[in-house]
Structure 1
Amino acid sequence: QVETYIPRRYEEGYGVSLEGVRYASENRFSLMLTLDCGTKDFDSLQDAAERGIDVIVCDHHLPEESLPAAFAVLNPKRSDCPYPFKELSGCGVAFKLLQSLANRMDLPESGIYEELDLVAISIGADLVELKGENRIMASQGLRQLRKRQRPGILALMRAADIHQAPQTVRDISFTLGPRINAAGRMDHAQRVVDLLMEKNDARANEMAREIEEMNLRRRDVDESTTAEALLQLEQSPEESFCNIVHGANWHRGVVGIVASRMIESRYRPSVVLSEENGVLIGSTRSVDGVDMHDALESCSDLLLQFGGHTMAAGLSLDAKNLEAFKIRLNDAVRTQLNGVTPKPIIRCDREVHISELSLEALKELEQLEPFGPGNPTPVFILRNVISVRPPRTIGNQGRHLKIAIKDPSSDSPTIDTIGWNMGDLAPQIKQNVPLDLAFTLVKNTWKPRGWQNRTELNLHLRSIQLASSPETAG
């Protein structure tokens, strides 16, 4: 008998819950395998041991000095772990366990490799570094995804009006990942597990439509909470080294997303907290040069709980400790930054001429895939190009910027560019005024009604600078 159990994040918290252990005991399970959690769940795993349940932990979060009571703790970040690659995702750790079992039981590994599509999704959704084994598993997992064999993934793509399987890790991060996460944010993550295991197409379609509706609700909540948080941020001191905002009963499912939005507005490590019944619960996102896990460690006596990674973490604290926490965390971040206010740095790989940009050039770049954390997408610079028509804002509330550009000194074709979350820069950009752009190359494929798929080259903007001015527009 095998069964999945996912805690309800808002009632039971993250990780292995006491309720989950009790469920396993009452239903006479003798073995629990954790996925992407367990390393810090001392109380729950001790309870499992006392109930006679063996636990195998598959996790990749930073452990403390001691480990919980468990039959085995599989975590490449253990100080005594000799495994050479340390950046596996939680799902990647579970995959290594499957490989080991296959070897021990003399089973063919070919069946195990069919599960790499799920490993690739975990890599893209959890934003782990695309180095070493992660690159290999992500690449092979994307191939598996393109075979389109799993009804649940196909249904999720149909519900989201996605016409082709993810081609890159970025596609996972921006299409499948948010929808998979939406179920846990807005309702219960078990819905996604059920979808991924569903074999009936009709049932999978129905489940996927429900998850897509959750994702749309998540977007609405995200936007309203972001607006409140940004208003609060405007009233906080500009000289602070850390953005910290909080609100009553903000939806906990979007606080991590809102923290990322804070960084886009003011480039600082960000903490977004929701207050419920005198307790603040939230998420952090960091910037280059700041280890948020270490910063929270320095405030641990003020916290009820915390855990996570260098760039992202979760935490909870009594509301009465909020002001002391703000001071302590700001000091910890200032220390890490040596008192220097952080500024976003765009690392560009090469200056190019517009005539060098083509789908053929992009195809050559794609040989370096998969791109992501640890192997970033190459960023290029174009100088002295012009907007051939007035810029447009697109998306909800004109959040995004669209510019059609060309080189005025040559007969080069016009190329469309998109600046995500750059809509507020539109008034600064004038038609036929020279611009310098930092960007990445993207292949845009869509299907016009009644026609076959069309593919064109797009530029995704990272920065816009007036060519005649040293000041950046974005």
Structure 2
Amino acid sequence: MNHKWNYRPITPEQTETSQILAQELGISPILGQLLVQRGITKAADAKKFFRPQLPDLHDPFLMKDMDVAVERLNKAMGKKERILIYGDYDVDGTTAVALVYKFIQQFYSNLDYYIPDRYNEGYGISKKGVDYAAETGVGLIIVLDCGIKAVEEITYAKEKGIDFIICDHHVPDEVLPPAVAILNAKRLDNTYPYTHLSGCGVGFKFMQAFAISNGIEFHHLIPLLDIVAVSIASDIVPIMGENRILAFHGLKQLNSNPSTGMKAIIDVCGLSEKEITVSDIVFKIGPRINASGRIQNGKEAVDLLTEKDFSVALEKAGQINQYNETRKDLDKSMTEEANNIVANLEGLADRRSIVIYNEEWHKGVIGIVASRLTEVYYRPAVVLTRTDDMATGSARSVSGFDVYRAIEHCRDLLENFGGHTYAAGLSMKVENVEEFTRRFEEYVSQHILPEQTSAVIDIDAEIDFRDISSKFFNDLKRFNPFGPDNMKPIFCTHHVYDYGTSKVVGRDQEHIKLELVDNKSNNVMNGIAFGQSSHVRYIKTKRSFDICYTIEENTHKRGEIQLQIEDIKPIE
């Protein structure tokens, strides 16, 4: 893969600010520069960034409708109404349901939860779900991570005497559903200072407000933070502001005292002896929770997350792990089929988007396939399959392009759609697929920037090996947790050489284990370059080359610094 390296420019003013900041904090000027790039220019703000504090969370009552929502919940509990916690079948939805259910359950027992079936009911609130609530005598439904567009379904529930509290973070339409309260910081009339909460994060704020109104101390909410961290990492929301505080303390909880269900998942992922990071959640924990809703029913994920008996939890985690294995097999075969379709698309080089439809595909995996296509082709991708007489699908986007807006542009062709900047779901009549493909491509072509459709690596700073000391590495670790808006910094070093001991490794000899030097110091740096063995012949000629990389701890030798090489550029 031929990546373009994009150096993030820093102005003379920013350079001066970063040097002053670094001096005040006693850190390297390079790290001062990283702070300034993140919009942090004052020492006091940097200290808050490095040590996120729970008391700095916003007052939940700043959120529009929060007082109404809490009052309605208190009333339901006072009148002993049956309450149903309802959520989407993905990680964010199931964690949100588990969190709200677990917290309320400590104080109230007339409670139930419901996750719609991806295959029979589809995304969001279903009439089947409302009917279930009516049959079981529910008076109040708290819906999480969906519901913001369910005007028809909530009207239907209202006719049956059921009230709704919506906790969502997806983009609303102009017409809001007739719910008692709508907690969503993306509302046009929003009053909340932070707009990037996950669905589970909105649920947490609701429980925080409920606790305040009932004199329950904040420390009772802390055991729920492991669940919030999993939702934040899995739903790829920005890890700055309030999300950073929640993710930081959630990871702490996940590592020191996870809930029974989480501990069982950690066990089946083989992470029990390891310090769990955001990328462990993204690549190991999240996909397993997700697999339950993709392959079977998301309710099983909530069963696991709310389980109190460890041996039962371990059994449930084993089952979910099996779903994940099934999901991987489906994912592999469907991705191969999708790649074949795309490779044969007419005029692929001139297209700015990818829309593919195959009515045989498994609905539970199309979102993953869409993600794979964006990674390979650097285009927003929509993958559609057939459900009854509808084409239903998932869309994923490339960095900086709002795929939700592109889909919204074609809304007259759609039966339903929802989502946010980088991920969305949609459904349409099968006969509209062709016109949707044309219109979607037209919109993307007009709005996407050339650099968004090519393989670009953003370089945060150019450094020399002499800059990488153990103090530098320890200070860099304080930038954790990494994620959108606070990505793991990528550094670049020019003119490095093989120390003479670099070699290819891996089952198929596809990786390079490197020992490198530059001409500014005697530091020998260890590195690993995954899947880049094609460069080894050049490296062995002892000519110099440029590298860009992240700085990691060697997992096999604690305390030893290792460069994870993202790309190698021979110097012609």
In the superposition, the TM-score normalised over structure 2's length comes to: 0.75
* 1:443 equivalenced with 2:443 (yes/no): no
Distance 1:418 1:258 in 2: 25
Distance 1:179 1:123 in 2: 15
Distance 2:455 2:551 in 1: 20
- Equivalent residue, structure 1, for 2:52: none
Classify 1:462/1:114 alpha carbon distance in 2 versus 1 (closer, same or farther; 3 Å): same
* 1:146 equivalenced with 2:255 (yes/no): yes
Q: Pick from 427, 432, 437 the counterpart of residue 534 of structure 2.
A: 427
Worse-matched range after superposition: 71-80 or 197-206: 197-206
Distance 2:359 2:509 in 1: 26
Distance 2:112 2:452 in 1: 49
Classify 1:156/1:189 alpha carbon distance in 2 versus 1 (closer, same or farther; 3 Å): same
Worse-matched range after superposition: 64-73 or 281-290: 281-290
Classify 1:200/1:165 alpha carbon distance in 2 versus 1 (closer, same or farther; 3 Å): farther
Alignment of 1:165-314 (within 5 A): 167-236=276-345, 237-314=348-425
* 1:457 equivalenced with 2:570 (yes/no): no
**Structure 2 residue matching 1:284: 3-state secondary structure:** strand
Tell me, yes or no, if the aligned pair for 2:465 and 2:525 is still in contact at 8 Å: no
Worse-matched range after superposition: 437-446 or 319-328: 437-446
Worse-matched range after superposition: 233-242 or 54-63: 233-242
How much has 1:382 moved relative to structure 2? 2.4
How much has 1:171 moved relative to structure 2? 2.5
Identity of paired residues, percent?
38
Distance 1:139 1:155 in 2: 21
Tell me, yes or no, if the aligned pair for 1:444 and 1:455 is still in contact at 8 Å: yes
CA deviations on 1:397-440 (whole Å, 9 max, x unpaired) are: x6974442412656543513243xxx3x5334424254322221
Classify 1:207/1:340 alpha carbon distance in 2 versus 1 (closer, same or farther; 3 Å): closer
How much has 1:51 moved relative to structure 2? 0.8
**Structure 2 residue matching 1:62: 3-state secondary structure:** coil
- Equivalent residue, structure 2, for 1:383: 494
CA deviations on 1:253-294 (whole Å, 9 max, x unpaired) are: 221221121122211111112234453221111123421111
Tell me, yes or no, if the aligned pair for 1:334 and 1:340 is still in contact at 8 Å: no
**Structure 1 residue matching 2:417: 3-state secondary structure:** strand
Worse-matched range after superposition: 285-294 or 5-14: 285-294
Classify 1:165/1:46 alpha carbon distance in 2 versus 1 (closer, same or farther; 3 Å): farther
How much has 1:385 moved relative to structure 2? 3.2
**Structure 2 unmatched ranges of 5 or more:** 1-109
**Structure 2 residue matching 1:308: 3-state secondary structure:** strand
Distance 1:58 1:379 in 2: 36
How much has 1:191 moved relative to structure 2? 1.3
Distance 2:509 2:139 in 1: 52
Q: Partner letter of residue 295 of structure 2?
A: M
**Structure 2 residue matching 1:368: 3-state secondary structure:** coil
Q: Pick from 262, 269, 280 the counterpart of residue 160 of structure 1.
A: 269
Q: Partner letter of residue 178 of structure 1?
A: P
Q: Partner letter of residue 241 of structure 2?
A: G
Classify 1:76/1:106 alpha carbon distance in 2 versus 1 (closer, same or farther; 3 Å): same
How much has 1:42 moved relative to structure 2? 1.4
How much has 1:322 moved relative to structure 2? 1.8
Give the number of aligned pairs. 455
Q: Partner letter of residue 462 of structure 1?
A: E
Tell me, yes or no, if the aligned pair for 1:283 and 1:315 is still in contact at 8 Å: yes
Distance 2:513 2:357 in 1: 36
Distance 1:338 1:269 in 2: 12
**Structure 1 residue matching 2:552: 3-state secondary structure:** strand
* 1:125 equivalenced with 2:238 (yes/no): no
**Structure 1 unmatched ranges of 5 or more:** 447-452, 469-474
Classify 1:44/1:418 alpha carbon distance in 2 versus 1 (closer, same or farther; 3 Å): farther
Distance 1:30 1:467 in 2: 69
Distance 1:340 1:134 in 2: 28
Tell me, yes or no, if the aligned pair for 1:354 and 1:406 is still in contact at 8 Å: no
Classify 1:338/1:464 alpha carbon distance in 2 versus 1 (closer, same or farther; 3 Å): closer
How much has 1:341 moved relative to structure 2? 7.1
Distance 2:262 2:462 in 1: 39
- Equivalent residue, structure 2, for 1:472: none
In the superposition, the TM-score normalised over structure 1's length comes to: 0.90
How much has 1:59 moved relative to structure 2? 0.4
Q: Partner letter of residue 386 of structure 2?
A: E
* 1:407 equivalenced with 2:517 (yes/no): yes
Classify 1:454/1:213 alpha carbon distance in 2 versus 1 (closer, same or farther; 3 Å): farther
Tell me, yes or no, if the aligned pair for 1:289 and 1:336 is still in contact at 8 Å: no
Distance 2:139 2:400 in 1: 44
- Equivalent residue, structure 1, for 2:225: 116
Tell me, yes or no, if the aligned pair for 2:228 and 2:250 is still in contact at 8 Å: yes
Distance 1:368 1:245 in 2: 39
Tell me, yes or no, if the aligned pair for 2:527 and 2:565 is still in contact at 8 Å: no
**Structure 2 residue matching 1:391: 3-state secondary structure:** strand
How much has 1:335 moved relative to structure 2? 1.4
How much has 1:78 moved relative to structure 2? 0.4
**Structure 2 residue matching 1:296: 3-state secondary structure:** helix
Distance 1:393 1:386 in 2: 22
